[in-house]
Structure 1
């Protein structure tokens, strides 16, 4: 029988695949593996990181004892239930309020999760000099052409004094659009494909490390990639992005553009403050998040397996009342709670305190 293991589950074709791969590599650097929800997880699995609802359901059906749902970017949208998860990991504490009420007691802050091998450069200025790029350098994912429109986006970029790098992903059409339209706006720009790493080839990482700032939607993979390389962010929002934008702004690494028509104003501000924004991005520790996830999993499993005291026994050192002191209103230890009951327990505590306050006020009258 094989040794129990921790596995990573994610549906095929997910945009956050590089982040799941980073976690799988932290578990097994020699042979990282992502399991698919369409295939039954191995019997030896004793814990699972689940990147989507289908994966969480698959882990539950297979009887994996400890299941962790993970939201690796600043987007908290999850098209399913968290009921089968013993724990939930999010990128920032401000995102906790966006979770369903009964889930928050099981949620923990991991921070943004970087792809495997992604980290800030030791000397960004030296890298820019090697490529004959004058700072500042702004990176723009070509996916924003659909968000802001080709002409409005390029017009706004043309108003800011930056060198531009366009990440076209694997989108041939986007590359052709930029080749046709960027010259008409007199942009000092280049474009590249975001190819995955292979062997000694690091893929798109060296191009991302050139960027002082990145323009992105707040909940996108690109925003997380910017944090991974220690670049500041300029945020373009669409409906549903508000909570993610607030979290990034509170972290001090991002400036929002209120609309595509004000992008140049936000970009100019970000370029002036790029050193501070970049430091705040590095402080989030995205490259170390995979190791933090494993350490947190170990702690959560240890806590879940800790013996629970029977109801009524003292929890720690209980001070007994002296003569004339009022007795305790409740037992020192109310016994173990069911998973997910912390919110209800907190509400009950508040109700008890309000009732006691009303009693004292009535007595004073």
Structure 2
């Protein structure tokens, strides 16, 4: 099903509003009908298709997967359907909207620096195309060359575009090699490679732990045992990583190991997860404590992304400022040197 006109933000609004309607006592079908009343024609057509498939007995997570909702959102709804679908819809919608908000913020942060980089590149071109050749002719006419300091600065500025192109080429080749190399590897090995990257490592562990905690808590709230919850993780097909994890965790549970010891031994999860599970089992409130922990991790993810975005712009400004300073020196030093020779 094509959803080109159903943007990610609209998907998030859809999930949140349906969840709120259900919390007010409406059934899923009535919530969908109520939502569609004030929407544009394309959305009404999508909702009509969803209602038709629900009447045919299809699950909501299967239907949304056909509508090309993100896999992690569909997987989350799969788990929440065992407990509280309305809560799962609201949480998934908020997650989707915040993700789009971060994308928009990144675009706004990069918009002005990219313009500055373009403007600086144009200035560098004009400098080497017209201005510096005139200085060279001027110095040659008086029988001397450009000052040594100016020559060094000009060489640095002139080589900078080639350094940038070489860096971009190396990055492109590295990314291509990464995807080719990981194409046939398991989902877990793909994520494990991200642990070697400083900033990505932290974000990867936070995301994996948050999703696992939230999905496991939704199943435990539904009265499912840990063993059965792991079996449900194994049956789902929307998250191949958690499917593979469930197979390995189930095998170790059957061999007599505890869940907290198994997760402590797995590097893709935050170390506190093991302590949370142990504490929750002792107190008998494991589902509640996992829910609280998932909320804490979600806030940490949000803070981490915001801090990372706030670092990007100053770094770009610093690089552009350095180039502009070198260009200024490349112009002013020959002029000052020439004035001194008069």
Q: Which of the pair has more CA radius of gyration?
A: 2
Q: Which protein has greater RCO, CA pairs closer than 8 Å, 6+ apart?
A: 2
TM-score (norm 1): 0.24
Which structure has more strand as a fraction of its residues? 1
Which structure has more helix as a fraction of its residues? 2
